Structures are given as structure tokens and as C-alpha cells.
Chain A
């Protein structure tokens, strides 16, 4: 099997499993909607305009909700030693990692678009003139998040602290993603020209590349017995 078809096999398996169980996507989706409902009651819309603070809320919902699903990446396979089977397959460890993050990225990106949809629906958010750029910012941010989240999910799921450890490991590392992501989003929501967000998008991209690269190299040391 070539490298790409190995990755494809992992992605296909993970997405098929998720499609059949709908466990993680349901948890993340429900979290996103419910967080939107709670945000509605947690801010006085006569004092702050949702449009002004939406960028921060969108990214925080994505991070908290995403962690719910990403933290359980290896949960299903941990049962009955199924992950051992994946590891003993001829696929190199970094192919397994790339496959895992691709599947997680698809799930998280669906949630990201859902979150934006919820905010548009609940708070009458105006997405500005460049919704495509907004989608790109969310995609780059999600990729970086998924890359770190999946790596440390493999770490935390092998400890007895489990998923409670994940935020402690991942949150300090997510600061660049939050800063550049929120900044790009708030500028796009405020209808600023694309030139104003180009720098943010480049940094989000750099963060994603660094996270994927580090994860692909480190993953083998995490899953080795």
C-alpha cells in the first residue's frame, strides 16, 4: 500500500465509525447549540452587541466543544485492544497520525461551521463581505487545534487522569491559535479589508503547519508500548 492509501484507510475507517455511532459529532454539535443558548442568557444584549464579541465566543465554543470530541479520539479503539491492531498494521505511525487528524479535522470543521451557523441564527450575526475568508480562518485554526489535540489525546487517554488532563496539556499551547483566530474573525466580522487579516491567516497557517509537523514526528513515541 502506498502512503496515501494508508492514510485514506484510516480516515475512511474513522469517519465510517463516526457515521455509524455518531457519538462524538453528536456530543460536539449538542455542546455548540447549548453553549449558544447559554451565551444568549449570559450577556445583556442591550449593553453589548453580539457582533462585537462573537469572534471570541465562536473560538471558545470551538475549543471547548472540540476538546469533548477530540479527547475521545482513541476511546472506541482503546476497547478490546483494537488500537493495537491499527498499530501493528504495516502503516507507518505518522500515516496513522495524519489519518487520525484528517478524520478529526472533518468532524471539527463541521462543528466549526455549525457554531458559526448557530451564532448567525441566534444572534443575527452578520458574516461580513468575506465569508470565504472566515471559513479559511476557521479551517486553519481547526487544523492546528486538531493536530495538537489528537497528539495529546493519545497521551491523556493512556494516563489514569484521562480526558481531564487534556486541557492542561493543550490550552497553554493554543494561545497563538486563539489570538490570531479571534483577531482574524473579529476583523472579518467588522468588515475590514482582506489585507488586514492576511497576516493573521499566515500565522494561523504557520501554527497549523508546526502543529501537524510536530505531531507527525512525536506520535510514534506516544503510541509505542
Chain B
């Protein structure tokens, strides 16, 4: 069965991802050099940036699978979109938790209307809307279509939101905002970041595949139960 292969593959990726994240933590705490101007707090960057990448990557899957689901009507695409959305929401939450912790020290404030912060917060709410529509329809088929629409329209609007918040900030320059990325990254830091990006992506893809096979199995079980009853 292909879904069995996917599950095993998913487990392998998730385990690799977790191992990678353990290595990443060792690198973050003991190996990578401390950044000169921000000090020790900058090390959260290696967790924060990979989570942000995964959060937006997942939303790409949500929108893409949602669009093709509406087009072809294949159930599996909806399972994939919903699984990616669940993973994406978890990683968006990680971004929103780690960002302010870093911002408190680096910027002197937990929250600022910095474009990327604002966009991530809005992304979190788009994910929230995605799940709310899904769970609040009596006919699950409609819920699937509604959530796909939310994902697609959200993905279309995100570039415009980003543009507008960037532009908004240029209107009101905030005092002394340190940009997270330095002009050039030390090679050791770059390596740590690369390990972070790879491990987080592996973990996400692993969990995503697991969640996807679970969704497919649940769906099949429901179909069989319905057939048995009729």
C-alpha cells in the first residue's frame, strides 16, 4: 500500500528532523559564535527563522493543494492541504512565541509592527479561519471547499498585505530597529542556520506525511463504516 510507504517515510523524516534539531541545539548552545551586537539572545534566531520558513512553506502547500482540490476534486489533495495547515499553524505559533522573546532584548519591546511580525500574526489568523470554517459546516464536503477558498484567497492576499505593511512602516519609521540579519553572516552561523532549516523542514515533512496518512486512513474507515451500515 502506498500510504504505508508514506507513513514509514514520514516516520524516518520526522526522526531525522528531531535528531537534526538536537544537533542544532548543541550547535546553538555550545558551538556557534555569539553575535557581536545582540549577544546571546541572537541564538534564538536559529529556531525562529527555520520555523518561519516552514510556516510559510506549509501555507504554500495549503493554497496549492486547495486550488488543485477545487479543480480536480480529489479527496487526497484536501487531506494534504489540511495536514499541511495543522503543521503550519504549529510552526507559526513557534514563530510568534520566539519572535517577541528575542524582540524584548534586541528591540526593547515584545511587539512592534515590523512587517514580518505583522504578516506572521495575520498568517496565524488566516490559519485559524481555515480551521474554523472547516469544523463549522454540517456537510464536511462544503467545509473542505470553504477552507480551500480561505487558503487560496489568503495566499493571493499575502503579497499585498506584505507590500502594504512594508509601506506602512516606511511611513512611520520606528526608532532604532535592529534588522535581524547582519550584513554578512559568519560561516559558522550560516552552517547552524542551514542545519536548522534542514531539520525543521524534515520534521515538518515527516509530521505532514504522518498526518496525511492518518487522514487518508480515517477517511477510508469512515467510508467502510458507511458501506457496512448500508
Candidates A159, A176, A218, A224; contact of B153 at CB < 8 Å: A218
A221 located at the interface, meaning its Cβ lies under 8 Å from any Cβ of chain B in the complex: yes
- The stretch of B34-42, B95-103, B133-141, B197-205 in contact with A is B133-141
B221 located at the interface, meaning its Cβ lies under 8 Å from any Cβ of chain A in the complex: no
Interface residues of A in 175-211 (CB under 8 A from B): 175-176, 179-180, 183, 203, 206-207, 210
Say whether, besides A158-B137, A159-B136, A175-B165, A218 and B149 are in contact (CB < 8 Å): yes
Say whether, besides A151-B153, A155-B133, A169-B133, A175 and B146 are in contact (CB < 8 Å): no
B132 close to A161 (CB less than 8 A)? yes
Q: Give the interface size class of chain A.
A: 20 to 34
A215 to B168 CA separation, bound complex (whole angstroms):
26
A172 close to B129 (CB less than 8 A)? yes
A204 to B154 CA separation, bound complex (whole angstroms):
17
- B143: chain A residues at CB < 8 Å are 159
A148 located at the interface, meaning its Cβ lies under 8 Å from any Cβ of chain B in the complex: yes
A175 to B168 CA separation, bound complex (whole angstroms):
10
The smallest C-beta distance from B89 to any residue of chain A, in angstroms, reads 14
Say whether, besides A168-B125, A172-B126, A179 and B157 are in contact (CB < 8 Å): no
A-B CB pair tally, cutoff 8 Å = 88
Interface residues of A in 132-185 (CB under 8 A from B): 148, 151, 155-156, 158-161, 165, 168-169, 171-173, 175-176, 179-180, 183
Interface residues of B in 119-161 (CB under 8 A from A): 122, 125-126, 128-129, 132-133, 136-138, 142-143, 145-146, 148-150, 152-154, 156-157, 160-161
Q: Mark B155-175, 1 if CB is under 8 A from A, else 0.
A: 011001101110110010000
A172 close to B149 (CB less than 8 A)? no
A165 close to B136 (CB less than 8 A)? yes
B156 close to A172 (CB less than 8 A)? no
Interface centre among A160, A171, A173, A222 (most CB of B within 10 A): A173
The 3 closest A-B pairs by CB, nearest first: A176-B164, A159-B136, A179-B164
B160 close to A169 (CB less than 8 A)? no
- B contacts with A, residue count (CB < 8 A): 32
A221 close to B133 (CB less than 8 A)? no
A214 located at the interface, meaning its Cβ lies under 8 Å from any Cβ of chain B in the complex: yes
- A206: chain B residues at CB < 8 Å are 160
Q: For A179, give the chain B residue with the smallest CB separation.
A: B164
B137 close to A159 (CB less than 8 A)? yes
Interface residues of B in 157-216 (CB under 8 A from A): 157, 160-161, 163-165, 167-168, 171
The smallest C-beta distance from A87 to any residue of chain B, in angstroms, reads 14
A176 close to B122 (CB less than 8 A)? no
Q: For B134, give the chain A residue with the smallest CB separation.
A: A159
A203 close to B129 (CB less than 8 A)? no
Q: For A213, give the chain B residue with the smallest CB separation.
A: B156
A175 to B126 CA separation, bound complex (whole angstroms):
12
Say whether, besides A155-B150, A222-B146, A176 and B133 are in contact (CB < 8 Å): no
A160 to B135 CA separation, bound complex (whole angstroms):
9
